[in-house]
Amino acid sequence: MADRAFPDILSEFATIGSSLATMIEQEKIDLKIITQLDALIGFFQEKEKYWKGNKSVSPTSAFALYHAWSNLRLIASKVRDRFQLAEKRHENPKTAVDGLRLLPTMLDLYTHLSEVGDRELTKDEDTATYDGTTELRNIAYHSGMLPSMNEQLREMDKKAVIEEFEEFATGIQCSQVPRESDSGN
């Protein structure tokens, strides 16, 4: 997968952090942050698409990685949406404070995901991935930057979900069929 370099994304995080600190100090929202957030969102979306249905690792690892990248994208998108509405809602500098509260956890999860790269997750890495994602979601929730369930559902590809559910249900049915050795004959 063609990837932007790790330092480039770290630079995006640093630029956003600096912008947030300036906004807090000046108590004024600078909408240039939208472009900065869009760069991260685009990167997270590329990673999310890469892991959706990826067959190079186990389904467990692929799903954990997909889930983490998806949450980074969803939350970064919600942050962008909050900044777009901040002036109308008179949330200066609250939106910047909330964004700055969230940024270190986003950076930690991004760093973890970059370290594991494109390989199978160990049990500890799998746990760390889910723990990092959960922590991010919790902080986003308490900062008002977690997309609502309706916002998250709007983004779902309903046809793909139905196909995945049917595949899952078929797998369950196959595992429920008794084998000859199970019938006691």
- Amino acid type, 34: I
Average pLDDT, the chain: 87
- The pLDDT tens digits of the residues spanning 104-118 come to 999 999 999 999 999
Residues in the chain: 185
Residue 112: φ, ψ to 5°: -60, -45
Residue of 133, 153, 136, 154 lying closest to 145 (CA atoms): 136
Q: Is residue 164 domain-resident? A: no
- Average pLDDT (166-178) is 57
- Average pLDDT (151-177) is 61
Distance (Å, whole) CA 64 – CA 76 = 18
Residue ranges making up the domain that contains 32 = 6-152
Q: Is residue 167 domain-resident? A: no
Q: Is residue 175 domain-resident? A: no
Q: Is residue 90 domain-resident? A: yes
Q: Is residue 13 domain-resident? A: yes
Q: Is residue 47 domain-resident? A: yes
Helix %, strand %, coil % for the chain, to 5? Answer: 75, 0, 25
Q: What is the pLDDT of residue 2?
A: 43
Q: Report residue 145 as tokens.
A: 């930057």
This prediction has a pTM of: 0.82
Q: How sure is the predictor about 5, in pLDDT bands with cuts at 50, 70 and 90?
A: confident
Q: Is residue 37 domain-resident? A: yes
126 to 20, 21, 24, 171: CA distances (angstroms): 31, 33, 36, 23
- Average pLDDT (68-81) is 96
Q: Is residue 117 domain-resident? A: yes
- Structurally, the chain folds into a number of domains equal to 1
